């Protein structure tokens, strides 16, 4: 196994990771960033991004991530492809293994590994992804103004997104697979009060219909097994996200869903010198702009940690 020592190691290449890189590089910390399995992160699977400030005409998600990367490179970030296969945060410097063959010793680690939307797993859902199928109502709802859409899920995300969509579109069908929702009472109430949301209880998605773009859904009653079709132009999947944090289990404090716990108002985890940013620690907002903001916090926290550690080591050497 080859060994290397770096000051700041950033894991992940979404808005959080690249923003951390921009700040860390400009602070002279020569960050090394590993891109992970989906370089550019979740924005590379969206189309237009119209809610990121600074782009009055909007920008395509993949292009935005190319721009983030260029900006991080411009200040000297060492961007590498590779997957982190193991970590050891039990001592210091922190040890991170890449592709089972390189061990990096890092003075500070910034985790920006993001989260992945859960999908139903239908072939039609994947084929029409970005062509009417979306996992983010806040990102894509606007494109369905005045149209009919469906959203699947019965949790807080689905309830919140259904309510959000109801203000933009003509009609929202909300497919809930049981006869009750998991969402909090207040969120459910908002759904039930919206005149243009129709909750379809005991309903699951059998197929997303359409060749080039979504034209409808075939839904199945989970009690009777009966199938029927509805016409919609948009189909939103809101059945939860999974943070990409499995590799850190055992070292970092997490909630039951795997989101890394940070000290409120900071990016600090329970391990000094390990910082968590973006969707890996945020199950509520999950926006590019909030991820970028938390990436900035990660870099500033890492910079401060390294400066304090240097003083500590100098004092210990005297």
Positions marked active-site: 136, 139-140
Q: Which parts of the chain are beta strand (E)?
A: 2-11, 32-34, 48-49, 59-60, 78-80, 84-88, 94-98, 102-111, 115-117, 133-134, 148-152, 171-175, 197-200, 203-209, 216-221, 227-231, 234-237, 241-243, 274-276
d(CA 3, CA 97): 9
125 part of the interface to ligand NDP, by CB under 6 A: no
| Torsion sign over Cα 48, 115, 207, 197 | negative
Q: What are phi and psi of 309, to 5 degrees?
A: -65, -40
Where b means 16+ CB within 10 Å and e means fewer, 245-255 reads bebbeebbebe
Given 192, 284, 307, 311, the residue binding ligand NDP (CB under 6 A): 284
239 part of the interface to ligand NDP, by CB under 6 A: yes
282 part of the interface to ligand NDP, by CB under 6 A: no
Residue 156 or 303 having the CB closest to ligand NDP: 156
Given 158, 200, 252, 271, the residue binding ligand NDP (CB under 6 A): 158
Given 140, 160, 279, 303, the residue binding ligand NDP (CB under 6 A): 160
Given 80, 127, 131, 177, the residue binding ligand NDP (CB under 6 A): 177
Residue 177 CB: number of other CB atoms within 10 A?
17
| Binding window for ligand NDP (CB under 6 A); candidates: 54-62, 140-148, 152-160, 265-273 | 152-160
Residue 157 or 269 having the CB closest to ligand NDP: 157
174 part of the interface to ligand NDP, by CB under 6 A: no
291 part of the interface to ligand NDP, by CB under 6 A: no
157 part of the interface to ligand NDP, by CB under 6 A: yes
221 part of the interface to ligand NDP, by CB under 6 A: no
Residue 33 or 151 having the CB closest to ligand NDP: 151
| Binding window for ligand NDP (CB under 6 A); candidates: 3-11, 84-92, 129-137, 148-156 | 148-156
Residue 17 CB: number of other CB atoms within 10 A?
36
103 part of the interface to ligand NDP, by CB under 6 A: no
**Which residues, including other chains, have CB under 8 Å from residue 2's CB and lie 6 or more apart?**
101, 102, 103
222 part of the interface to ligand NDP, by CB under 6 A: no
| Binding window for ligand NDP (CB under 6 A); candidates: 36-44, 92-100, 210-218, 235-243 | 235-243
Give, as ranges, the residues between 64 and 83 that touch ligand NDP (CB under 6 A).
none
Element (H, E) at 309: helix 288-317
**Which residues, including other chains, have CB under 8 Å from residue 279's CB and lie 6 or more apart?**
14, 16, 42, 114, 115, 241, 243, 286, 291
Place of tokens 């260029």: 70
Residue 30 or 177 having the CB closest to ligand NDP: 177
- Chain residues binding ligand NDP by CB under 6 A are 120, 152-158, 160, 177-178, 182, 204, 239-241, 283-284
């Amino acid at each position: 196994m080859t060994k290397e020592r770096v000051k700041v190691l950033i894991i992940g290449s979404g808005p959080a990771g690249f923003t951390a890189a921009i700040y860390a590089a400009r602070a002279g910390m020569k960050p090394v960033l590993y891109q992970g399995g989906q370089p550019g992160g979740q924005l590379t699977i969206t189309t237009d991004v119209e809610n990121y400030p600074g782009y009055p005409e909007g920008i395509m998600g993949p292009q935005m991530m190319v721009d983030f990367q260029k900006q991080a490179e411009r200040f000297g970030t060492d961007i590498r492809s590779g997957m982190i296969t193991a970590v050891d945060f039990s001592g210091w410097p922190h040890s991170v293994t890449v592709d089972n063959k390189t061990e990096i010793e890092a003075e500070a680690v910034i985790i920006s590994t993001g989260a992945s939307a859960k999908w139903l797993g239908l072939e039609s859902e994947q084929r029409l992804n970005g062509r009417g199928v979306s996992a983010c109502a806040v990102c894509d709802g606007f494109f369905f103004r005045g149209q009919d859409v469906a959203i699947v899920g019965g949790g807080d995300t689905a309830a919140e997104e259904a309510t959000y969509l109801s203000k933009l579109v003509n009609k929202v069908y909300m497919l809930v697979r049981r006869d009750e929702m998991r969402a909090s009472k207040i969120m459910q109430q908002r759904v039930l009060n919206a005149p243009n949301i129709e909750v379809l209880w005991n309903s699951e998605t059998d197929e997303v219909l359409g060749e080039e773009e979504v034209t409808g859904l075939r839904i199945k009653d989970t009690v009777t097994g009966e199938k029927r079709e509805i016409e919609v132009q948009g189909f939103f999947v809101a059945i939860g996200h999974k943070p990409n944090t499995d590799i850190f289990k055992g070292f970092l404090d997490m909630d039951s869903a795997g989101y890394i716990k940070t000290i409120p108002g900071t990016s600090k985890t329970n391990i000094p010198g390990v910082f968590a940013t973006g969707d890996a620690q945020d199950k509520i907002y999950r926006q590019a702009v909030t991820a970028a903001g938390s990436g900035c916090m990660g870099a500033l926290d890492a910079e401060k940690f390294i400066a304090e550690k240097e003083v500590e080591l100098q004092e210990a050497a005297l």
